[in-house]
Amino acid sequence: MSDKTAIVVGAGILGMATARALALKGYKVTILEKSQQSLGASIRNFGMLWPIGQPDGHLYDRAIRSREIWKEYLKNANIPFDPCGSLHLAYDNEEQNVVEELYEHFLKSQRPVALLSPESIQKKFNGINGENLKSGLYSSDETIIDPREGIKHLPTYLKNYYNIDIVWGTAVTNVTTNTVWSFKTKYNADIICICSGADFETLYPSKFKELPITKTKLQMMRFVPNDKNYRIGTSVCGGLSLLHYKSFTASKSLDILKAKIESELPEYLKYGIHVMVSQNDKGELTVGDSHEYGLDFEPFDNQFINDLVLKYLRKLMHIEDWTLQQSWNGVYPKMTNGDTDLFLKVEPGVYIINGIGGNGMTLSFGFAEEAVAKI
């Protein structure tokens, strides 16, 4: 047994990824989680492993590495996943110009992409609205899982394969070098990593206020198709999503598309809406999402935002035979200075690993390995 010990605060995807990376480095790891199970942003997302959204170079490589780790876990734990790729649809000239430029760019980067005609799209995939459809950018890099199932079974996998323990229902109230307190209970370790999302504000409030960091609220919905055999065959996105991911800034025509959307759909930009659909192994369809920024939010879903999402979705998909099952919101921290993550030593042996924004599923495993390598 290792004589090096580590405590990770937080059992979301980034916390569990960090615990895995520490175990590989020879630490005996314990995760402390305030809830009785993982309930945060890690289970409130599309379940998309989404390399296409990451720019060429370090972040794309991190996404591919994270996907490799996910698949290793999912295969060993016998959890379904779907390497169905992604499809970005173009319905006007501005969107088509961006899609074509991205295709050329990604092709030069040796990414697995294809530029599909409307006829090919209609033949290969189900439920796509063919009216005014001009083309689509398909990428085979992307994989879909059900995040609720993937996160639920990950603690057992970490215990069986890496001897990582999780102590549930343990709210951390204070952290100092080598020591974590949960009220009167004391935990000692050589290394402490705080991976508690926006909750690290309560442990290091002054540090949180100093950092260029905010919180993001998203809204999402889940539908079930009336036909139990219905499969789209890929994850679907529209023109709004072309404005959302950093990798798409490689298109010279993106500013023209943005100006058009600003003029025609200002409310979508106001609420950070970009519309996507993923489908899990049970056939359930996750739809979203929005992005509101601030330090505090109302706890309620805004039906106005969901209505905007569905209005735009009808441009992309035939959804008449989908039945709404659930709607929810989630909150995660995001850097405001353009950084894609936060790795911070706040005192000897204590590190904050955070700030990965809405890319937790896509980047956490790779980012955790990189962060732990610095410790």
Three-state DSSP state, 288: strand
Sequence-ordered list of residues with C-beta below 8 angstroms from that of 256, at least 6 positions apart, any chain: 94, 97
The mean pLDDT value for 115-121 works out to 98
Q: pLDDT category, 199, cuts 50, 70, 90? A: confident
Helix 360-373 with 58-76: angle, nearest 10 deg: 100
In this predicted model, what pLDDT tens digit does every residue of 203-237 receive, in sequence order?
999 999 999 999 999 999 999 999 999 999 999 99
Q: Which one is predicted more confidently, 47 or 61?
A: 61
Mind listing the domains of the chain with CATH numbers? 4-46+148-211+338-373 (3.50.50.60), 86-140+213-335 (3.30.9.10)
DSSP annotation string for 44-103: SS--EE-GGGSPTTHHHHHHHHHHHHHHHHHHHTT---B---EEEEE-SHHHHHHHHHHH
Beta-carbon neighbour count of residue 162 at 10 Å?
17
Residues 65 and 101: beta-carbon distance below 8 Å: no
CB 273 within 8 A of CB 290: yes
Q: What is the pLDDT of residues 9-28, one digit of tens each?
A: 999 999 999 999 999 999 99
Relative to beta strand 235-237, strand 86-90 is: parallel
- Residue 253 DSSP symbol: T
User: Which stretches does DSSP call E strand in the chain?
Assistant: 4-9, 27-32, 48-49, 86-90, 113-116, 135-139, 143-144, 165-167, 174-176, 179-182, 185-188, 191-194, 213-225, 235-237, 276-279, 285-288, 292-294, 322-335, 342-347, 350-354
List pLDDT tens digits, range 255-302: 999 999 999 999 999 999 999 999 999 999 999 999 999 989 998 999
Residue predicted with more confidence, 42 or 23? 23
In contact, 113 and 107? CB cutoff 8 Å: yes
Q: What is the mean pLDDT of residues 88-110?
A: 98
pLDDT band at 38 (very low <50, low <70, confident <90, very high): confident
How many Å apart are CA 51 and CA 13, to the nearest integer?
Answer: 17
What lies within 8 Å, CB to CB, of 151 at 6+ separation is: 12, 13, 16, 38, 42, 43
Average pLDDT value for residue range 59-81: 97
Rounded distance between C-alpha atoms, residue 323 and residue 329, angstroms: 19
Local confidence band at 197 (pLDDT 50, 70, 90 cut-offs): confident
Inform me whether the pLDDT recorded for 315 exceeds 70. yes
Per-residue pLDDT, 1? 53
Nearest to 220 by CA among 43, 41, 45: 45
- Taking the whole predicted model, whether its pTM rises above 0.85 is answered as yes
Average pLDDT over residues 238-250: 95
Terminal-to-terminal C-alpha distance of the chain: 20
Mean pLDDT for the chain? 95
One-letter amino acid at 365 equals: F
Q: How does pLDDT run across 147-182, given as a tens digit for each residue?
A: 999 999 999 999 999 999 999 999 999 999 999 999
